[in-house]
Structure 1
């Protein structure tokens, strides 16, 4: 049971555990065997609420605060803005006691449906993709540096919890509270390949609650099941975050083992959703695509998929999220000379946008915040490990990052 899907990101130590609810004995709370309602007011959760009441920034939230410092509109900020239009923060705060105790009256749930996935994206890990496990084992058995092994270390079994199986105590708790829930956010792994994803949506529909619930989920876009579309239509709204990190060879390298040709065929499915459904392209910014993102945006603007990221969503461009882990793939590791090349490319791209589109860059700050985030820290000491990491994965996957990421040719 985790505080937030971002709560374990960007932490300097024990980052995979930060944000996980703990019983007063120190044990983690697991939703496959523990009732969330019984552990809503652990000392751990109460302490986090108390810090917020006192105007402090809990360490569990450092990822959002770090992004905000670079000018990026973080999850914390846009969630607060969205909820400010739906509920009274004063009413919520009035129900929280000074020690952080709060009633179990949940309106928003985000759920991770395990790590079952049909892709092994280059920047991912076994905790979020079951398909990554064979390559992870080969990588750990290789002569890759110990520092890199320490950074990507995966506690065996992490992410594989099958709490979402329909006999879990979690569902009994949730069904009792579903009449209060307004927003659902589901991630994986890949949610759409789990039968429980469909079963849960059907539960929401059959109980009549879907009509006032805003559904949101992430997908890699590979599953185009026709039986899911009618379910999406039954929700008040549905926001689908479609992962895309590059076109052509960039897709094939990053979103391994998918192919761009196959993905293009599937985009027709995502471009023809019911009227209550919005589909947005979400891109993870890393060393793998930071030079390519302007070309990805140009492709989006010139593509026939006009219902994906439909204006004014992200000004008709794409959503961007900064990679925090592994460090070797973060854009903060780029050497100074490469960072200058990035800045130059984006400066030229800003001019292209102004000359060729109606996009208001004052309302789309993500590219500027990308530059700020890149320059927020000099981690170039890890650059050699970055290349080593990519070389090792090349040998495992029979890929060639150097033939795709040409901007790093002489770096």
Structure 2
């Protein structure tokens, strides 16, 4: 079978959950529309249903069929949007990373989309426990957002009732022993486990996973990948890492110093610098790979060059993730004159990965129709958090 132009390897070798334990296609697919359902339309959850039951469910078979036929699933719009203007998408990156699995995926899939279960890459979100409340986030990914959320329901979602507030304040599903029982059924095929959250360094349940991998003599074959906000490096976790094949650190930083605090509130820059420096030293031992990951959005695109100047002193150029949701924080919301300034400031970095694509993406469409929402959202959060956008990004004054 020939590989189509819309083929993505993930539905053939990837198990992904969100912070509530829902199975989903991947973390780049459209939030809320990317869950895997049973024949009755009920959402599958990893602590209730093992991967072997979910793997060839109607949703999974359908998306495989679409990709084999060259169709572009709507739930993958983020990748299609980026590819349309020349930005390398997650789909393309994963196809490159796992190219050695593509031939087998194509040859082993039946005409109706059924494929053998292979959980090579596992994205595990152990709840929403976090110590930050980033402006582009929500209470389903950070419990720190719960108290503020109902005041923002005109922007995203609906009011959270008391039952949901209680659940989001203390998610208990990662403590369900069935979770670990289900994960261990695929452990023989696992090459990499991606831990994010919430803030994964705070998730105590990860140590259960580590203990099971070590006991089964599988840790030495598994790469652990983290998205971390650099506020916390537990010594206990670092000790456990020694048992695993490799550690990948994706350090989330969205601006230099006070801009990072503004976006990723209430980050302490001294802690970020201290912990990035610590990881940089650990990397020299040869078992760790460190990357800085930056979510490009309307708040930081005008001043992101300052972060570039900082991270390149460590030898890191950030991996740029263009924010897709919520749309009113997207870089395309900037007016044309500020887009031109942003593009000019990015120009000295044009040879670095994804910078040219970012400029092309930003310029491709005018989303100023979302400006009113951006202003209302920003002003409300500024008041709630005693912050000021103009203090950290003065050029955005004209947008407010």
**What TM-score bracket applies, with the shorter chain setting the length?**
0.7 to 0.9
The answer to whether the 8 A contact 2:155-2:373 is kept is no
Partners of 2:159 and 2:95 in 1: how far apart?
Answer: 32
The answer to whether the 8 A contact 1:111-1:186 is kept is yes
Give the corresponding residue for 1:11: none
After superposition, give the CA deviation of every residue in 1:362-392 in whole Å (9 maximum; x if it has no partner).
Answer: xx33111111111222111221321221111
Give the corresponding residue for 1:214: 223
Partners of 2:179 and 2:73 in 1: how far apart?
Answer: 27
Partners of 2:344 and 2:189 in 1: how far apart?
Answer: 50
Evaluate the alpha carbon distance shift between residue 283 and residue 153 of structure 1 in structure 2; reply closer, same or farther with a 3 A threshold: farther
Partner SS state of residue 24, structure 2: coil
Partner SS state of residue 271, structure 1: helix
Give the corresponding residue for 2:173: 163
Give the corresponding residue for 1:33: 48
Q: Shift of residue 154 of structure 1? A: 6.5
Partners of 1:43 and 1:336 in 2: how far apart?
Answer: 44
Give the corresponding residue for 1:194: 203
Partners of 1:263 and 1:91 in 2: how far apart?
Answer: 42
Evaluate the alpha carbon distance shift between residue 153 and residue 388 of structure 1 in structure 2; reply closer, same or farther with a 3 A threshold: same
The answer to whether the 8 A contact 1:72-1:365 is kept is no
User: Is 2:325 the partner of 1:325?
Assistant: yes
Give the corresponding residue for 1:6: 28
Partners of 1:246 and 1:39 in 2: how far apart?
Answer: 39
- Matching residue within 298, 309, 322 for 1:287: 298
Q: Shift of residue 150 of structure 1? A: 4.3
Give the corresponding residue for 2:133: 120
Q: Alignment length, in residue pairs?
A: 370
After superposition, give the CA deviation of every residue in 1:61-92 in whole Å (9 maximum; x if it has no partner).
Answer: 111121122222211111111111x43x2222
Give the corresponding residue for 1:48: 63
> Superposition pairs for residues 7-406 of structure 1, below 5 Å?
7-8=29-30, 16-84=31-99, 86-87=100-101, 89-140=102-153, 149-153=154-158, 157=164, 160=168, 162-167=172-177, 169-273=178-282, 274-302=285-313, 306=314, 310=315, 316-347=316-347, 349-350=348-349, 361=351, 364-406=352-394
Q: TM-score, normalised by structure 2?
A: 0.87
After superposition, give the CA deviation of every residue in 1:34-75 in whole Å (9 maximum; x if it has no partner).
Answer: 222112111111111111111211112111121122222211
Q: Shift of residue 155 of structure 1? A: 5.8
The answer to whether the 8 A contact 1:332-1:377 is kept is yes
The answer to whether the 8 A contact 1:248-1:260 is kept is yes
Partner SS state of residue 134, structure 2: coil
After superposition, give the CA deviation of every residue in 1:320-352 in whole Å (9 maximum; x if it has no partner).
Answer: 1011111111101111111111122223x34xx
Give the corresponding residue for 2:17: none
The answer to whether the 8 A contact 1:244-1:282 is kept is yes
Evaluate the alpha carbon distance shift between residue 295 and residue 325 of structure 1 in structure 2; reply closer, same or farther with a 3 A threshold: same
The answer to whether the 8 A contact 1:3-1:20 is kept is yes
The answer to whether the 8 A contact 1:166-1:196 is kept is no
After superposition, give the CA deviation of every residue in 1:256-311 in whole Å (9 maximum; x if it has no partner).
Answer: 01121232233332222242111111010011110111111011223xxx3xxx5x
Partners of 1:59 and 1:46 in 2: how far apart?
Answer: 15
Partners of 1:153 and 1:242 in 2: how far apart?
Answer: 31
Evaluate the alpha carbon distance shift between residue 137 and residue 17 of structure 1 in structure 2; reply closer, same or farther with a 3 A threshold: closer
Partner SS state of residue 7, structure 1: coil
Partners of 2:251 and 2:183 in 1: how far apart?
Answer: 27
When the two chains are superposed, the root-mean-square deviation of aligned CA atoms in Å is 1.9
After superposition, give the CA deviation of every residue in 1:212-267 in whole Å (9 maximum; x if it has no partner).
Answer: 11221211111111111122232222211010011121122111011212322333
Partner SS state of residue 279, structure 1: strand
